[in-house]
Structure 1
Amino acid sequence: MTYQASALRLFLVVNLCFWAAVPLARAERVIEEVIVSAQKREESMQSVPLAVTAVGEQELADAGINDITDLSMQIPSLVVYTNTSPFNTSYRIRGIGNEGNIPTFEPATGLFVDGAFKSRSGLGLGELVDVQSIEVLKGPQSTLYGKNVTAGVISVTTKAPGQEFDASLEATGGGDGLRQIKLGINIPLSDELATRWSVVRTERDPVQQNISGDDGRSLDQLALRGQLQFEFSERGSLRIIASAADRDMASSMGDVYYSQSHLNIISNMQTQLGRGEVGPNDPYDNQVNQVKNYSFIQDSHDLSASMEYVFDSVTVNLLAGYEKYQADLDYANASQMPYQIVSFLDSQAGESSSWEFRLTNNDAAEFSWIVGAFYYQNDYTRGDSDTGEFRLLEDVEEYGGAISNEFARNVSGNSNYAVPIYDTSGNMVATVSPGTPILGVEGDVGYFTGKQKTDSFGAFVHGSYALTSSLEVVAGIRYSDEEKSASFVNRRELAPGESCLPVHEFDLDPAIPLTSLNLNLICLVAPIDNNYQGGDSWSDLTGTISLSWFPVEGSLLYATASTGFKAGGFNLEFGHFDGEDERKYDQEKVTHFELGAKSEFLDRRLRLNSALFSTSYESYQNATFVGLQFIVNNAEEVIVDGLELETTYLLGEHLTLTAAATYLDARYEEYKGGPCDYYSEADNGKFCIADGEGVPFAPEWSGSFIAQWNQALFNGEFYARAAYQYTGENLPSSERDPRHLRDPYFLLDARLGWRNGQFDVALWGKNLTDEVYLVQGAAANIMTNIDVQIGSPEGSYQTYVGEPLSAGATFKMYF
């Protein structure tokens, strides 16, 4: 039986079984109505013809959710992962997302905070307080939201200033020196004017042990937010929001598995230098071996203003947003070894502004509509022409010499063998003698500067019409146009007498399975003949149409067809690219079909929402880390088929059960330029055919189960919550290295406490079983490339694992 037939049968059986349930006697408790703004107007979540999960203020507090990362614990379709720093966070919905490490690779999951679009996913992490609700819209949302949201939308709404004074103070302490303070205060200034302020400060000691240097993975961040609400008339209001965030922390380091060749190289260096401890070669022990750790500094600011004016027949909304950030990730020892080989300072800066204008009709009894326009502009810079991004350090010559010895051992079995190098005509042009420092010498410097400017415009119309009292049609259309200009400039400074062999100019003896020996690191990362300047524009017409049927009160059946669009872009990465064909990638187009059902049973004590979907991505933008650099190109077609189920059940007067499950079949239907793992032989140049292979970071099965108990106690309320998350077998590796294939795993969080109108005291624990799970596996920064060049039988790699067990207490006071 085909997947589509099986999934459709399961979809129908589950919903029919619930609809056939016999209603019980009405009880006091009912599931509260959830109001969402998924279609840019406030509506009941149960009447919106799209898959949306909304988490309100009370549920956020019950779960102890601090940032969007915690949301994935209860929304299986949402995958959030971070590697080196919070700035590199990636969101994936239904298996589709981007690599956060590539700053010009715009996210397929759009993050909106109070309606304003965030240019980087990492700008929305760990900086939000006074959150009122978070909505996760699953599937392409290119009509109302635009700006590349081909996977979905995360929409965060914070509390607006009000006309009553209130304040809260929250303090949290936990293991590993966790300290967090949150303060929020609302101050009415007059009948027309109110202001709200909030601050959050978080610190945590490092949780990643480093054998040879300072430990990593600490927290140190401060976020401030101020708002002003001005009701300038009975019909109009203006809301201004300003915020700032500052981070200064030791970031996470990849836990490296060293190939046997690199273990030999390290042993050789120990002999030469008389130092360099080698620890357990275990990439899952959260223990690294680097002379220096990584540091991360972020300074970001944003400002938004939203104005609303209600006329008799229409409402006018105007939203303006501005953000500016500077982020520096200092890979002080990018070689990931117990020696100082090379440093890499990844400096990024961005500035963007956005405008959105909407007209919405007020009389929406039978026909409702929205028309609007959106403009977005962004300037981005990576690197600095005056700062050396790459610097070779004091142990690089010994490392190069040890590589020469291992190279000779691999090709001849004799570490004293002088390896001949031949040109493409078969003429010997050089030899690599044992001990030759082929990586360069201390003081060599590589520079790069990448710049991109983006201008994006969209115009849209969206409406719904009630054909009958139980039948409604929703349709929308959007025109999008995006233009980008880009440049990337390399330069380098080498020691006197040093030079670089152009990549691929010299080949080895055909008996040796190598293609080039251009190993000077600065030559590899800063090829001066590989600069780039270009630009392009992309445009498309996308739309959506849904048919909603309300067969009985409290139930909705809908069918949706929609298309999506994501603009193309440029690989503004260091390293070698084969001309414009590799520097540029094309736009992505999406065709999406969905059947959904939303129902409430048992006198609103049981809710079941389900969605069956099939999404086709044409020219899907895919990213791969190939060691030293990321490359984005286009897969000819990606197909994502799936089924989602979400249910809430009020069992008795005290217990609430929530469960969700997602089944995904996400695959490269056709991909001729796919990633190659270390053991795969390229089918065309440096790429491999991946037709029929699964999309990474997309487990076939995932789910969550949450139980919460609430009961009156001591003039207040006792509450207890347990959240259980299941992630099926998955491959969290962009290059699809089979060594990173992981078995299913489970995570358990718990929280219990007591509260009344003035106090809230809670004990909590996360990952209580201390599960070791892989967040991302990838090629090692430099060692994997060296392994390839010297013909190592196996390749080194690095891993990033999830947060270990943590526990603590939170005390909150209301004023």
Structure 2
Amino acid sequence: MKRLSFGVFFAALMSSTAMAQTMPPQTTGQDEASQLDEIVVTAQRREENVQKIPVAVAVVDGQTLARRSSTDISDLQALVPSVSFAAGNELRNNSIRVRGVGTDVFTTGIEPSVSTVVDGVVLQRPGSAFSDLGDIQRIEVLRGPQGTLFGKNSSAGVVNVITQAPSFSGPTGNIGGLIAQDNEYRINGAYSAPISDTLAFRLAAFYRTQDGIVTNLYTNDTVNDQEAYGARLKLAWNPSDNLRIQFAADYSELNSSAGALPLRVATNNPKALNTGTPVGPNNDQVNNDVVPFVDQENYGASLTIDYDIGDFTLTSITAVRDFSNTSDVDLDDTQAQIVLSNFNIESSETTTQEFRLTSPASDVFDFVIGAYFFDGSVYNYLNRPGLNLASTAITSINPDGTLNRTSPYGLLTGDSTVESRNASIFGQANWHLGDRLTLTGGLRYLEEDQTLKFSRPVSAFFNGDTQPATNPAFTPPDLDFHDSALIGKAAITFEATENVTAYASYSTGYKSEGITSSLGLTQAQYDVQPAPAETSELIEAGLKTRLFDRRLTLNVTAFQTTFSDYQAQVYNAAVGLNFITSAGTVEIPGFEIEFQARPFEGFTLNGGVTKLDATFQDIPNGPCYSGQTAAQGCVPTQLGTAIVSVQNLNDKPFIVAPDIRYTLSGRYERLLFGDVEGFVQMDYRWQDDIIFEISQNPNMRQDAYGVADVSAGVSFADGRYDLTAFVKNVFDEQYVSNIVPNGASGGANSYVQNLPRDFHRYGGVTFRARF
């Protein structure tokens, strides 16, 4: 078991601190325009300088996102080295990961490990976070467990999104557009103005469309196309000096032919039709008789009230949200009519309420205390008619894709609902021992109730009606679960100088008990519900510095994170379904280095590196992958009364957690003539190889890769207008955002891949105007 030596690291911190204190300010007296701006965050539920707090936070502002033509939060991986992204088999199963940890389970009964919070409101379902990133003020990425102040499902971190607020100072707005290859078009804009001295509004809207980069030979058309649009309205009312009220409502819709996954490894079943597509890592074609689609709606409203009681502020955030996802995919991924459809409906409804009391900032003692309530439900419906390719019910497949079969199609259909109720109280306080030393402590106590309602009204016979049912009819009684937890944080912060801060912290996290709610649920799985709650423990030490007359910000963080009862999923090749498992312990020691530099006026360089050594621990009886032999470590073992094949996963790599990941971005701006300024920017990211499944399946490995993006353009009229040309993935580096098994229906030992937008090099232009 690998551990960090925090004694050695603290020695390095103190040495660096001493050097920073004695280092002469070599550039003192130069133009202040070359100094880096101070960054204010709300990572501890009050406005603070990010360089002064005992939290590892990466901040990306809205201007940076706009310059990169970012569409959704998956684009954070290009800017923050500790953030990575794994695409699901459908859009609703996408996953943001922080320090290598995210959501690896595609079922409605499991919450994400990284919480997404928009303007103080927690989003329950992962898919609802992947909407347009227009009109963003900033995004704060908080690494490590953040449950003390952010509560629900934040055992690995928080992506805290803050959108632009209404303006009381006068009319302001912006409009932007994008034209790129693959028929990609985008337009977005915002307008804000005061209505009276006490009332102001802000309206932001977007529309985008693009062709997919995958070609379907069956229709001779592109798939994974997207069309999305939406709007957000904010009203700010300040009826008095001590009362501020903000109402926000948003709606977005996404219509896509997403879900077409090119073959990476073809089945060796002789009955399978040749798809006629390339097979391998560079494949960008499918031959699907079922044209996939995804229709998403995501909307909600919130009411935030801040009331000053003397120097204290009482905050109330009330919110309701709805998310729906209707989809279909070609589950066998061939032109054969093996699985006729995989029609799925998912919908969620949530109501949340948070109260906070924030004391004024003090030189001695200050605090935040509060209560949080969550009430939500997630509904899932599935209708899947088909047969398994390996079954004797399919005797052969005709060239036109029709089956010669001895049995009618099986049908897996039914629905499930998971209801969740969470109530918690929390608090965090700072005790300032003089001007330099601060002790921080926080706790959250939570109570959680969950209910599973499940119905599979008919038996599914995917191996033919002469064989036992692959999924017997199953409508068990409702299951109710109750859990409680106490999580907390303790930290010490030492401000050595105005520009050098060191800290050490200990914190714990919690994610709800896991419920298997997929329509393949068996009686055996039902009987052992729920999977244990996922808990995390973090030891962290950091040094935050601003050097060379604040032309360089350099932060170094070392950490040791341990996840217990990590909730994961395992693919069962026999039935072609994923099942939830408690993957034991995951240990993640590592360190991060982040910097931002402005060595001279007009040039900014920023980036960072994240080093992880993420491994599974305490899993001697882990799952084998399909086709794994005894020589490869898969051996029969008696577990209870059954003999099952298992492998020892101790010290094996954790999933989708690269050992090294780094980002580097440079931008140079220079006045050309008059008020016309030219700029050029280059962004590069690189990551080590990763594995996509707990079983260490070698067919589900992505090699190391690096991606470079470049852009150049001009701005004029004091920066009010700019025109930019860009190229993404300049060196045409092919990589994938996920690899998944194709399933028993498409043939055992077959694997497909999810392609990112920049799988191929592409270019475009953007235009922005501000007023």
What's the TM-score, normalizing by structure 1?
A: 0.86
Greater CA drift, 241-250 or 758-767: 758-767
1:546 aligns to 2:491 (yes or no)? yes
Q: Determine what percentage of the aligned residue pairs are the same residue.
A: 24
Matched, 1:441 2:408: yes
Where 1:96 maps in the other structure, the secondary structure is coil
For residues 259 and 205 of structure 1, do their structure 2 counterparts lie closer, same or farther at Cα, with a shift above 3 Å needed?
Answer: closer
Name which of 290, 297, 301 aligns with 2:295.
297
Query: Structure 1 counterpart of 2:104, which letter?
Result: E
Is contact 1:377–1:455 with CA below 8 Å preserved after alignment? yes
Secondary structure at 1:59 match in 2: helix
Aligned to 1:238: 245
For residues 650-700 of structure 1, the C-alpha deviation after alignment (integer angstroms, 9 at most, x for no partner) is: 122221111200100111111245332123346553654422211110010
Classify 1:703/1:11 alpha carbon distance in 2 versus 1 (closer, same or farther; 3 Å). Answer: farther
Query: Do residues 802 (structure 1) and 768 (structure 2) align?
Result: no
Letter in 2 for 1:365: D
How many residue pairs were aligned? 739
Q: Would the alpha carbon gap of residues 397 and 469 (structure 1) be closer, same or farther in structure 2, given more than 3 Å must change?
A: closer
Give the one of 658, 675, 678 matched to 1:715: 675
Q: 1:587 aligns with which of 533, 537, 548?
A: 533
1:581 is displaced (CA, Å) by 4.8
How far apart in 2 are the matches of 1:60 and 1:128? Answer: 8
Shift of 1:446: 2.8
- Say whether 1:565 aligns with 2:513: no
C-alpha distance in 2 between matches for 1:673 and 1:377: 37
C-alpha distance 258-613 of structure 1, shift in aligned 2 (>3 A): closer
Measured on the aligned residues, the alpha-carbon RMSD in Å equals 2.7
Number of the residue aligned with 1:650 = 598
- Find the aligned partners of 1:686 and 1:697 in 2 and give their Cα distance: 24
Alignment of 1:487-502 (within 5 A): 487-492=453-458, 499=465, 501-502=467-468
Residues of 2 paired with 1:651 and 1:643: CA distance?
A: 25
Moved more, 646-655 or 569-578: 569-578
Does structure 2 conserve the Cα–Cα contact (< 8 Å) formed by 1:340 and 1:396?
A: no
2:708 is the alignment partner of 1:748: yes
CA distance in 2, matches of 1:533, 1:245: 34
Deviation for aligned residue 1:478: 0.7
SS at match of 1:762: strand
Q: How does 1:466-615 map to 2 (within 5 A)?
A: 466-492=432-458, 499=465, 501-502=467-468, 523-524=469-470, 526-529=471-474, 531=476, 533-577=478-522, 578-615=524-561
The 3-state SS of whatever aligns with 1:570 is coil
Q: How far off is 1:96 after superposition?
A: 1.1
* Deviation per residue, 1:348-397 (Å, 9 max, x gap): 1110010000001124232110110000011111017xxxx012399999
The structural deviation recorded for 1:572 is 0.4
Aligned to 1:143, what secondary structure does the other structure show? Answer: helix
Partner of 2:394: 400
Q: Is the 8 A contact 1:142 1:478 kept in 2?
A: yes
Show structure 2 runs of 5+ residues with no match: 398-402, 629-633
Answer with 763-772 or 154-163: which moved more.
763-772
Say whether residues 1:767 and 2:715 are aligned partners: no
- Equivalent residue, structure 2, for 1:4: 4
Question: CA 1:22 to 1:544, structure 2 compared with 1: closer, same or farther past 3 Å?
Answer: same
Structure showing greater radius of gyration is: 1
- For 2:313 and 2:517, how far apart are their aligned partners in 1? 42
Q: Distance in 1 between matches of 2:393 and 2:414?
A: 24
Q: 1:732, CA displacement in angstroms? A: 2.7
- Residues 443-473 of structure 1: per-residue CA shift (max 9 Å, x gap): x433211111000111001110111211110
Equivalent AA in structure 1 for residue 764 of structure 2: G
1:24 partnered with 2:26? yes
How far is the alpha carbon of 1:301 from its aligned partner?
A: 1.3
**Which residue in the other structure is 1:450 paired with?**
416
Structure 1 equivalent of residue 216 of structure 2 = 210
2:333 aligned with 1:336: yes
SS at match of 2:239: coil
**Given that residues 396 and 441 in structure 1 are in contact (C-alpha distance below 8 angstroms), is that contact kept between their aligned partners in structure 2?**
no
What amino acid does structure 2 have at the position aligned with 1:588? E
1:700 aligns with 2:659: yes
| Cα 1:75–1:10 shift into 2, 3 Å | farther
Match of 1:430 in 2: none
Q: Which moved more, 1:375-384 or 1:390-399?
A: 390-399
Specify every segment of 5 or more residues in structure 1 that has no aligned partner in the other structure, as ranges: 268-275, 404-434, 503-522, 788-794
Native 8 Å contact 2:516 2:525 kept in 1: no
Q: Tell me whether 363-372 or 463-472 shows the greater mean CA deviation.
A: 363-372
Shift of 1:149: 0.5
Matched-pair contact (CA < 8 Å) for 1:216–1:251: yes
Q: Is 1:99–1:105's contact at 8 Å kept on the other side of the alignment?
A: no
Q: What is aligned with 2:769?
A: 813
The answer on whether the counterparts of 2:393 and 2:464 sit within 8 Å (CA) in structure 1 is: no
Q: Match of 1:256, as an amino acid? A: L
Matched, 1:168 2:186: no
Secondary structure of the 2:26 match is coil
Tell me the CA shift for residue 128 of structure 1. Answer: 3.2
- Asked if structure 2 preserves the Cα contact closer than 8 Å seen for 1:397 and 1:437, the reply is no
Q: Give the number of the structure whose residues are more often helix, by fraction.
A: 1
Compared CA separation, residues 635 and 494, structure 1 to 2 (3 A):
closer
CA distance in 1 between counterparts of 2:727 and 2:364 reads 49
Question: What is the match of residue 135 of structure 1?
Answer: 140
Structure 2: which amino acid aligns with 1:801? L
CA deviation profile, 1:752-776 (whole Å, cap 9, x unmatched): 2222343121111211212111221
Secondary structure of 2:565's partner? strand
Deviates more, 1:673-682 or 1:612-621: 673-682
1:154-212, CA deviations, whole angstroms, 9 ceiling, x for partnerless residues?
00001111121112221110000001110211132111111111111110012101222
2:741 to 779, 784, 799: 779
Counterpart residue type for residue 762 of structure 2: S
Is the Cα contact below 8 Å between 1:225 and 1:242 reproduced in 2? yes
Cα pair distance change 1:567/1:162, threshold 3 Å: same
1:18/1:778 Cα in 2 relative to 1: closer, same or farther (>3 Å)? farther
Cα distance change of structure 1 residues 19 and 752 upon mapping to structure 2, 3 Å threshold: farther
**1:465 corresponds to:** 431
Matched, 1:187 2:231: no
Cα separation, 1, equivalents of 2:59 and 2:313: 25
Determine if contact 1:315/1:360 at 8 Å carries over to the other structure. yes
Structure 1's 126 and 326: CA in aligned 2 closer, same or farther, altered over 3 A? closer
Aligned mates of 1:91, 1:664 — CA distance in 2 = 17
**Structure 1 stretch displaced more, 89-98 or 686-695:** 686-695
Contact 2:459–2:472 (CA under 8 A) maintained in structure 1: no
Distance 1:600 1:363, change over 3 A: closer
1:223 to 227, 230, 241: 230
What do residues 127-156 of structure 1 show as CA deviations (whole Å, max 9, x unaligned)? 232100000000011101110211000000
Q: Which residue of structure 1 aligns with residue 587 of structure 2?
A: 639
For 1:645, give the aligned amino acid: I
Tell me what 2:612 maps to. Answer: 664
* Partner of residue 202 from structure 2, selected from 188, 192, 196: 196
* C-alpha separation in 1, matches of 2:372 and 2:381: 30
Structure 1 distance, partners of 2:679, 2:537, is: 44
